Amino acid sequence: MKKLFILLIFFLLSACQMNKSDLTFVGESENWLAEVTVLQTKGEETYQIQLTNKGINVEEIDAIHYYVESKNNGVINFGENDVTLNQEGKYDNKSFSSNFPSTTSNDELVIKIDWNNTSEIFDLRSK
pLDDT by residue (tens digit) across 100-122?
Answer: 788 889 999 999 999 999 999 99
3-state helix/strand/coil string of the chain: CHHHHHHHHHHHHHHHHHCEEEEEEEEECCCEEEEEEEEEECCEEEEEEEEEECCCCHHHCCCEEEEEEECCCCCCEEEEEEECCCCCCEEEECCCCEECCCCCCCCEEEEEEEECCEEEEEEEEEC
pLDDT by residue (tens digit) across 40-63?
Answer: 888 888 899 999 999 889 999 989
pTM across the whole model = 0.80
